[in-house]
Structure 1
Amino acid sequence: MKSGLDTAQLMVKVQAWGRELALSQIGVAGVDLSAAEPGLLAWLDAGFHGEMGYMASHGLRRARPAELVPGTVSVITARLDYLPQGTPDDWTEAERQRLQRPGEAIVSIYARGRDYHKVLRNRLQKLAERIAAEVGPFGHRAFTDSAPVLEAELAQRSGQGWRGKHTLILSREGGSMFFLGEIYVDLALPASEPVSDHCGACSACIEVCPTRAIVAPQRLDARRCISYLTIEHAGPIPEDLRPLIGNRIYGCDDCQTACPWNKFAQRSPLPDFDPREGLTGATLVDLFAWTEDEFLRRTEGSPIRRIGHARWLRNIALAMGNALRQGDDPAIRLALRSELEHADPVVREQVAWALAQAQPA
């Protein structure tokens, strides 16, 4: 590493390199996150992490970057916007309208394109390589939602935005429609200035949540969150929550589409996040018909693939039941009956529940 390193000048260059890599914002945080530890422990003690056992098993290591990667003295944070290039200005209203079409399958916007883990990690690695070319070899490790990292806390401390009441990071320039990534480094870099909270008295995200998963400002019970239930949760979805999920089959954007700050959400310049065929505007019946081979083929390189075909069918069957509650649809009933004997017991139970939701003739 070069001696007499001018870290302020280095960060000017890092910002420029980040923009070249389509990273919307670069920040730097220190590694003392001790003030966040009581909140993390309280969240875990309340059981709000649900079946995400890794959240508890890592314990306070998540809030201690230097324990996760020994030698870390600074954390570079990065923001990557993900709204597709062709997103219309009235996109929030368009997304809300999807909820009024019970036969349509809704996939969360971030998951309609390529897996962000791969897209962002690749860019973080390239950024680290540029830094190494400038300063010489240095210790670093990049993360994109892939290790016990207190991501939102680091983002907030590094000036990426403030913690919204829905727990997501909000930016005045970019709303919340972005991914976050980090590079843990052994360089002592100047920390960015945090920004102040601009939610004010607004509680739109809390009020719109279908399952009331946001139990208080900045406090989320993941066990009630539709994103958690349709992605992380492996077993049967609790029956009292099923009607509230509607036609959402992978994730949920409600708290984001309700947020006034997302009128400033930025379009990504990358084609990676453009929606794949079948993941926007498709019917529940069409997606339910995917065989496991077709599911694997169509979700290659997609974040959806990791839930597997059985959980995909479970989610769609649930949405089909909700559609039948609103009105009979012979095509939906026929599709459901085709999977009454599915090998997976969770799918079988969900299909039987869905058929039972049909209004009696």
Structure 2
Amino acid sequence: MNIFTIIFDGLRRRKIRSALAITGIAIAAASLYSLVALKEGYESGMRSEIESMGAQIIAVAKGCPYEAVAVIMIGGQVPATLPMDVTGKIAKIPNVASASPNVYGAYQYLGLSHPIIGIEHAELALKPWWKIKGQFPANEGEIVLGSVEAAVFAEKSGEFKNIGDAITVVAGGKKVNLTVVGILDATGSKDDYSTFTTLVTAQKLLNLEGQVVTVNVRVNDIAKIPDTIAAIEKIADVQAVTVAQVMGTIQNLVKAAQTMLLTVMVIALIIGGIGTMNTMMMSIFERTREIGLMKAIGASQTQIFTLFFTEGLAISLIGGLLGLLAGLGATLGGDAILRSIVSVMPTTSVGKISTMAVGLTLLFPLVIGAFSALYPAIRAARLNPIEALRNE
């Protein structure tokens, strides 16, 4: 009979106690995996969304907090706007390669709200990877659909089937006819879920005539970005932020939440470890005569220590593996839960498999298990065989 047979035989004999210890570890491990994986997925998704803008500097109304800028950058809406002439002023600043004004809002179609973005031809300079089947919107009432929007409309709408078809939407409390002149190839970003139109069309639809929400800026020399920002902010009521600043703000918010949740997870793992230690101590108490018998027939202190230490590790490993499986499932479902409680979310799913999360989910329970099993294993190894055999 080898050591693993003895270990699992012992666990089977104490099913309820072992199951409770394993469950405690599994719950903590599942929570740990979900937290780390969702955090990684969120940061990765937000980074991709922001980078997909193609801009290095975002000009917004003065006083707009970085968190609000992040909302704007992934297609959200804020009340603060800039006058239209700001775009021309920014375009004249040295080191500005391209200045693209945007208006963000939404319209109703098929019973749902759909994001619409007003753009000018300068948008193509920011997003050279764009490929459009059809043409860029040039006239009032023309739109380009993102790849996902086009697929949904083609499936569920009785109006739109091909480029050139018109759809009737509701925006600003009135019905408006829009003509689809192009479909954007998949980009893997929020653009796939958006509708693009001319700046003038969006301004009229959203009652923002003569106004823009952002001016997205690309520079010639990134080393001169600080000087460019200073020049932009000399324009009245204009604030300029870099993509890196917005991403840093998002990461700080995520880290603050993560630190709090990780503290809870560590406490849960420690509690699970205490449960493992309790299980091991009770096991030693119940098996005192068995330990004495093993020593009497030649088992060394090292062998006894190894037996009980490995048993503690086995409990933690089983709990960690079960927690990992549960965490994988919870992470895939966690995307929908996060979207119901977090207002700023990337369009792509944040529930992805994370190798770092897998490693941490298996490592932490083993470390906790090792500490939890150490004292009970030492105590078992030091039992006096004669006194152990006398134990009733």
Q: TM-score interval w.r.t. the shorter chain? A: under 0.3
Using structure 2 for the length normalisation, give the TM-score.
0.24
Using structure 1 for the length normalisation, give the TM-score.
0.26
Q: Of Structure 1 and Structure 2, which has the larger fraction of its residues in strand? A: 2
In our comparison, the structure showing a higher alpha carbon Rg is 2
